[in-house]
Amino acid sequence: MDYMFLLYSDESKVAQLTTEQMAAVMSIHDVIQDEAKSRGIFKAARPLARTSTAVTVTSQGGKTITLDGPYAETKEVLGGYYILDCKDIEEAKEWAAKINQTICGTFVEVRALAEVPSAKDCSHGELVAQ
């Protein structure tokens, strides 16, 4: 089953890392990704740009509204993700523990990716996790 690993960290702490410290963090990501690739479970991984590049789009009263930045105002923000094909949640938790070593002091949220039926199999609005 595919799991998404959402990496949350404090941007202010990440910004304080030296070039050498950031290289060490990236080196750990390289090791984790190489291991996942060698086991044949790696699907994707990418960091996200800083939240200053984000916009949030919503609608209210039928009108589209665009806001600067991420939706939630929190210290910890989504900084990147992995997608790995793990046999179960226990294996996913093991990978989350490895990934958590690389970020500056917060957490990794693990979520199973839902199966999405084809458009011909459902009517509008029914694309929900089973």
- Identify the burial level of 67 via C-beta atoms within 10 angstroms of its C-beta, where 0-12 means exposed, 13-18 middle and 19 or more buried: exposed
Give CA–CA dist 8/18, Å, rounded: 19
pLDDT, tens digit (0-9, with 9 covering 90-100), for 53-81: 888 888 889 899 888 877 666 677 888 99
What is the H or E stretch that residue 23 is in?
Answer: helix 19-38
Which domains does the chain carry?
2-121 (3.30.70.1060)
pTM for the structure as a whole: 0.79
